[in-house]
Amino acid sequence: MEKKDYEMADLLCISIIQKEEARLIDPKAWLNKYKRLYSKFNIQPGKLPAIANCNFEGIRYENIARFHSLYHKLNFEYHILDHKSHEEAIVYFFEQMNAYMIGHYLTEEYYMGMDLVDFFYSLGNAFQELQDRGNKQLYTEIVECSNCNRKQYFFKGFKDDSYLHLIFKLENGIVKDLIECREAKCILPHDIDTNKQVFLDTITPPF
């Protein structure tokens, strides 16, 4: 490739990155559309991690690098069940606060007693609240509760430790429902501040 190829591709990548809506509406179509461009600037010898071929004659083309990273991440997420269990995949997307991809992998008719529209509306509001508190990503603490005999997930914000407290109901390794824990009897992490819990189910006021 020549310098002009990098310059043209870098400009194209700006446009691709900015069109976020198309990527979210149909990630499969987006991945297929730009697979050739990704392959053109992808370096991956054998089983080594993929890296972007975004440097030419001492110049780094940042938009090519950003596009490569974005494509690689979305491709991993769209095929995440090739690498993780269904439960692990849902945990991953909660940590990313990615309601769209959670919706891609949660396909039951009802969750937490709500239909899908109400559930994802509530989930979006909860993620927005966590983001409004300055949290760009969540991390997971898992507690095996001896009182309720269930594995509890605490999705905590890196910024201020605001958190979601959820239990997954599994059938054959598939997350079939979620339970939002409000019970004081559950065993909590020692450093948890219960005043920072963010609730999905706000139909009944927290208590």
Looking at domain 84-196, its CATH architecture is Roll (3.10)
**pLDDT for res 206:** 43
Q: Are 179 and 167 in contact (CB under 8 A)?
A: yes
143: β partners: 152
Element (H, E) at 52: strand 51-52
pTM assigned to the model: 0.82
What's the Cα-to-Cα distance from 127 to each of 9, 10, 42, 99, 143, rounded to whole Å?
Answer: 34, 33, 33, 8, 22
d(CA 66, CA 171): 38
pLDDT digits (tens, 9 = 90+) for 60-104: 999 999 999 999 999 999 999 999 999 999 999 999 999 888 988
pLDDT, tens only, 120-151: 999 999 999 999 999 999 999 988 776 667 78
Residue ranges of the domains in the chain? 3-78, 84-196
Specify which residues 177 forms β-bridges with: 169
Return the number of other C-beta atoms located less than 10 Å from residue 164's C-beta. 25
**29 Cβ partners below 8 Å, 6+ apart?**
none
pLDDT at 203 over 60: no
For the stretch 24-47, pLDDT in tens is 778 889 999 999 999 999 998 887
165: left (phi over 0), alpha (psi -120 to 50) or beta: beta
Q: What DSSP state is assigned to residue 186?
A: S
The pLDDT, as a whole number, for residue 183 is 57
Give the pLDDT score at 21. 77
